[in-house]
Every structure is written in C-alpha cells, then in structure tokens.
Copies of this chain bind each other. A is one copy, B any other.
Amino acid sequence: MMVDGVLEGDPDVWITHPSKIEQGEAGSICFLGNPKYEDYLYQSRASAVLVSKAFVPREKISPTLIRVEDVYLTVGKLLHLFNGQDEFTERIDPSAVIDADARIEHPVIIGPHSIVSAGCSVGKGCRIHGQVYLGPDVTIGERVILYPGVKIYHGCVIGDDCTLHSNVVIGSDGFGFSKDEKGEYQKIPQLGNVEIGNKVEIGANTTIDRGTMGSTKIGNGCKLDNLIQIAHNVTLGDNTVIAAQAGIAGSSHIGANCQIGGQVGIAGHLTVADGTRIQGQSGVASSLEAVGGKWYGSPAIEYFAFLRSFAEFKALPSLAKRLRALEDRFKN
C-alpha cells in the first residue's frame, strides 16, 4: 500500500483519483482533515477516505477508512503520487532573449519571450516559464520554477528548489527617500540585493524589495502567499510562513518558524522572536520578544488579552449605561 495507515472496510477497493469529500464519487479517495466537514463523510460516495487515527465516526460509513498519523501530510504524499513526475526535457524557446554572457546549466527549460541578462547564472533543472525577466548578474539555484511574468532585478540570488509564482517582483528598489531643504524627497540609491534561501515558495504578485545596503534575506523553507510586501533589509528566519497581503516594513527582523496571518502589518526596525504567531489583520508596532508568543489586534497585544478586551468592547454600550445608572443613583 502506498500510504502508511490502518485500513477499515474493503481492502480490495480500487482507487483511480483523488476527490473532495463534498464531491467524492466511486473510484476516488478523499480525506477528512477539518472536523467541520465530517457530515459530508456520511453521504460520501468516495471509495476510500483518509482520517486521523483518533477519529471516531458518529454514524455508519460506506467508504473504506484509512487511518493515518497525519492526514494532511499523507494527502500531500498521495497527491504527489497521483500528480506523477512530469518528464523534464531541455527546451529553450527561440523567442527567449538570452545574453551570451549568461551561464546556463543543462538541462533547463526557458519559455517564450523570457529575458536572461548578462552575468546571470541558472542552475540545472530550472523551469523558467515565458515572459520572465532575469536582470544582470542574477543567480538562480537548481530545480527552481519561475512562473510567467516573474521579474528579478539585477544581482539578486535565489537558492535551490524554490518556486516563484506569476508576476512576483524580486529586488525592486526599497522605499528610501530623504526630505531636502525644499521639502522635496530625494531618492536614496538602493545598492543592496535580495537573497532567497532553499525550498522557498513565493505567491503571485508578491514583492520583495532589495536592501538599501546589504541584503533583504528570506530564510530556507519560508512560504509566502500572494500579494505580500517585504521591504528593504527585512530578514526572515527559516520556515517562517506568511499569509496573503501581509506587509513587513523596512529593516525588521522576523525569527524562524513564525506564523504571520493575512493582512498583518509589521512596522519597520522591529524584532519578532522565533515561533511568533500573529493573528490576521493585526498591526505590530513594537518588537515582539517572547519566543512562541501569540498576538492579536491593531496595535497588537497578547492574543487572549485582546479577546478579553474585545469581549468588553462589544459590551461597552451597556457598561456605559450601568455606570450612568450608578452615577444617577448617587447624584443628590
């Protein structure tokens, strides 16, 4: 059997493809990860369902159950199997503009209308889709996937096994200006670059600015969702994940293994400890030193403290009435 789990029901069930639990049909395997979807399980026509070892069904179930340690992890492995390994055959489109001074290791795929500038280095096994731009002296590791429209400015460095989705921009100028005598803003040249580690995935239309001096750094194994802003000289520790539309201002240092929610904003020149979790839409205005701390609100405070205060916020009108009543009683 392909996955390591305990089987309940027909062991000879024939499975041809994965499905969602809401849509499972005969021949498919689905999974129950989030308890919210348990009800679907009892109507599911899927042939097999992955569930956690601990799961206790409320009702009788027709599909074969496969009990596993970690449902999501197993799903990942399964989907890879169904996904299969697509073949990799060298293919460089004639419309791509590749400078003679670029070093390309083979095999490689470079799609139509892409640009690889002088001094670039591209490792073997890279899939550079169409309409990608690599500026001068960009370094790309091995087995990197760049989807159509990715733009990487001069001098930036991407590690191995990274995936950048469409229209990601790496190495654009940091937002650095100084007000002059006349109250006009003069540009501070942005001379640094961006360095991205290994196994990093970056979502569509996310932007990462280059350092003013030195590098903006994204650690190994970081996962960034879509439409995120990472400003100049920010550093992210390894395996930190950031949800969509979050933004981190200049020169802030984020630890490893952090979980940053969607639309979170982090001000500049701050430090965020390892393992920090920040609830979506929170605004971080000062450094978060507590390792593994959890934060919520704008400005953000300790997670449960926020929940307690917000519960009272909802009750404020009645609280105000009660205070007024006491005051009236002791008017005289």
Contact = CB atoms under 8 A, between A and B. Distances in A.
Interface string A310-326: 10111111011011001
A257 B151 contact: no
B213 A203 contact: no
A23 B214 contact: yes
Interface stretch (A5-13, A53-61, A118-126, A239-247): A239-247
Given A263-B263, A281-B265, A112 B112 contact: no
Contacts of A314: 301, 305, 309
A180 interface: yes
A159 to B, nearest CB: 14
A327 B316 contact: no
Contacts of A186: 73, 76
A130 interface: yes
Interface in A100-128: 111-113, 115
Contacts of A172: 147, 165-166, 203-204, 226
Contacts of A201: 173, 177, 187
Contacts of A133: 129-131, 148-149, 166
B247 A229 contact: no
Interface string A162-179: 010111010011010111
Contact of A184 (B82, B167, B221): B221
Interface of A is mostly: loop
Residue of A165, A204, A245, A281 with highest tally of chain B CB at under 10 A: A204
A310 B316 CA distance: 8
Interface residues of A, number: 108
| Chain copies in complex | 3
Contacts of A317: 308-309, 312
A80 B22 CA distance: 44
Given A147-B151, A183-B257, A323-B323, 19 more contacts: A18-B191, A20-B233, A73-B178, A73-B179, A82-B189, A113-B115, A113-B131, A115-B131, A131-B133, A151-B166, A151-B204, A167-B167, A169-B205, A169-B226, A187-B201, A207-B226, A265-B281, A312-B317, A329-B330
9 contacts: A18-B191, A18-B213, A73-B186, A97-B112, A177-B223, A203-B207, A207-B227, A244-B247, A313-B316
Interface of A: 18-20, 22-23, 34, 36, 70, 72-73, 75-76, 79-80, 82-83, 93, 95, 97, 111-113, 115, 129-131, 133, 135, 147-149, 151, 153, 163, 165-167, 169, 172-173, 175, 177-180, 183-189, 191, 199, 201, 203-205, 207, 209, 213-214, 221, 223, 225-227, 229, 231, 233, 239, 241, 243-245, 247, 249, 257, 262-263, 265, 267, 269, 280-281, 283, 285, 298-299, 301, 305, 308-310, 312-317, 319-320, 322-323, 326-327, 329-330
